[in-house]
């Protein structure tokens, strides 16, 4: 393999459960056995990295990543953490030996496994969907944008190529589509999960804008952790108190559902569910049933304890009186 050729390694990682999405572009030198250059960004909006990898170049991915960072739409702390991790991995002999071996053998699943191991160090134990694209390129062509379309950085209506009927149209970078279009650009995005109610809940595919439900925030990213702290949702045992939320938008795709919720004026979240059968607890303005149950249980326990104490005292008094009575009868018989 000529030393002037390198691998262009591109991937997208999509974890719809936590709404964490990663775009990565790197140059792998198979002779020096290191990641020579790379660009990575983490976002909470999947549409920001909705770029077809097939035919894309390292330059294309670099342009998109830099554009997201410039506009401040990245998850900064997570992006910085991934930057450090891939930099460390790119200098690790063991990691690079495996990566280059798997690329040479085109063992995509093992490449995905390696990538996920790095991602899990930053995001916890996740199982994202990872899309890969890698190819051998001449070193002097690294800075070239994709030949099939203009650079994403300079794409405009005048230069945009005609859409081929058999191909899906390319979505302009940074333009939210679907339910994401209902989330304001300056909104704080949080991660959450539905609180379920199998008996009296609303099926997730029947939720409508304006419905009020109960959700629980998931502290897996800096933005959500900040909201949990501000709203004082973390309890002494470490659990997170549920909160009411309003449905902003929903989209049903057969058995799949995407839902956008709002908490307050500028706190939004999006969740992806693969099942229509789950039922979400509606918010009725009442305190959580668990809290009521805890209070009732405590009161019942207190009452039972009080009644038991009173019964024990009464029994003791009766026994004492009985003993005294028997003693008086014995004395009377003995004397007379």
The answer to whether residue 159 is domain-embedded is: no
219, 94: one domain: no
The answer to whether residue 175 is domain-embedded is: no
pLDDT at 316: 58
C-alpha count within 13 angstroms, C-beta hemisphere, residue 194: 29
Residue 328 scores a pLDDT above 70: no
Residue 22 scores a pLDDT above 70: yes
43, 108: one domain: yes
195-245, pLDDT tens digit by residue? 999 999 999 999 999 999 999 998 766 778 888 988 899 999 889 999 999
- The residue among 264, 280, 296 that closes a domain is 280
115, 210: one domain: no
DSSP assignment of 110-174 equals HHHHHHHHHHHHHH-S---EEEEEEEEEEGGGTTPPPTTS--TTT--TTTPPPPPTTSPPPPPTT
pLDDT at 121: 86
13, 113: one domain: yes
The answer to whether residue 329 is domain-embedded is: no
212, 105: one domain: no
DSSP assignment of 122-138 equals HH-S---EEEEEEEEEE
68, 192: one domain: no
Residues spanned by the domain of 40 = 5-141
Q: Show Cβ contacts of residue 143 under 8 Å, excluding neighbours closer than 6 positions.
A: 59
| Structural domains counted in the chain | 2
- The residue among 103, 122, 141 that closes a domain is 141
| Angstrom distances, CA of residue 32 to CA of 5, 161, 202, 204, 293 | 11, 38, 57, 52, 65
Percent of residues, the chain, with pLDDT higher than 70 = 74
Mean pLDDT across 260-278: 85
pLDDT at 336: 56
Pairing of strands 243-253, 256-263: antiparallel
127, 239: one domain: no
List the one residue out of 83, 117, 114, 119 whose CA is nearest residue 100.
114
108-134, pLDDT tens digit by residue? 999 999 999 888 888 877 788 999 999
Confidence of residue 28 (pLDDT cuts 50, 70, 90): very high
Task: Tell me the C-alpha distance between 161 and 3, whole Å.
Answer: 35
Residue 90 scores a pLDDT above 70: yes
pLDDT at 260: 92
The answer to whether residue 323 is domain-embedded is: no
Among 179-188, 262-271, 297-306, the minimum mean pLDDT is found in: 297-306
More confident residue, 304 or 121: 121
The answer to whether residue 223 is domain-embedded is: yes
The answer to whether residue 227 is domain-embedded is: yes
Task: Tell me the C-alpha distance between 323 and 336, whole Å.
Answer: 20
22, 127: one domain: yes
Work out the widest C-alpha separation in the chain, in whole angstroms: 129
The answer to whether residue 215 is domain-embedded is: yes
Task: Tell me the C-alpha distance between 122 and 117, whole Å.
Answer: 9
DSSP H helices, the chain, are 58-70, 76-89, 93-105, 108-123, 222-230, 289-335
List the one residue out of 133, 131, 132, 119 whose CA is nearest residue 18.
119
96, 217: one domain: no
- The residue among 141, 169, 202 that closes a domain is 141
Q: pTM for the whole thing? A: 0.46
119, 199: one domain: no
195, 99: one domain: no
């Amino acid at each position: 393999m000529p030393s002037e050729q390198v691998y262009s390694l591109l991937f997208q990682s999509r974890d719809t459960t936590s709404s964490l999405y990663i775009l990565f572009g790197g140059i792998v030198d198979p002779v020096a056995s290191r990641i020579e250059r790379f660009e990575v960004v983490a976002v909470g909006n999947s549409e920001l990295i909705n770029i077809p990898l097939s035919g894309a170049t390292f330059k294309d991915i670099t342009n998109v990543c830099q554009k997201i960072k410039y506009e401040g739409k990245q998850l900064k702390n997570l992006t910085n953490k991934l930057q450090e991790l891939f930099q460390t991995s790119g200098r690790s002999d063991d990691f690079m030996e495996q990566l280059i071996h798997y690329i040479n053998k085109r063992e995509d699943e093992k490449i995905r496994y390696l990538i996920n191991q790095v991602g899990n160090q930053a995001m916890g134990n996740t199982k994202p969907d990872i899309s890969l694209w890698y190819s051998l390129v001449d070193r002097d062509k690294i800075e070239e944008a994709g030949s099939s379309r203009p650079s994403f950085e300079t794409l405009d209506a005048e230069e945009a190529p005609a859409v081929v009927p058999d191909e899906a149209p390319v979505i302009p970078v940074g333009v939210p589509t679907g339910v994401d279009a209902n989330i304001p650009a300056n909104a704080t995005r949080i991660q959450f999960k539905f609180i379920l109610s199998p008996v009296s809940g609303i099926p997730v595919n029947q939720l409508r804008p304006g419905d009020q439900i109960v959700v629980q925030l998931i502290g897996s990213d800096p933005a959500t952790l900040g909201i949990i702290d501000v709203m004082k949702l973390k309890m002494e045992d470490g659990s997170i108190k549920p909160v009411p939320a309003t449905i902003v938008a929903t989209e049903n795709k057969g058995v799949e559902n995407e839902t956008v919720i709002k908490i307050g004026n500028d706190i939004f979240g999006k969740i992806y569910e693969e099942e229509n059968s789950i039922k979400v607890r509606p918010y009725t303005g009442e305190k959580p049933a668990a809290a009521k149950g805890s209070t009732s249980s405590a009161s019942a326990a207190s009452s039972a304890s009080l009644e038991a104490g009173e019964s024990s005292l009464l029994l003791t008094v009766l026994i004492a009186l009985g003993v005294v009575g028997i003693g008086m009868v014995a004395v009377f018989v003995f004397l007379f």
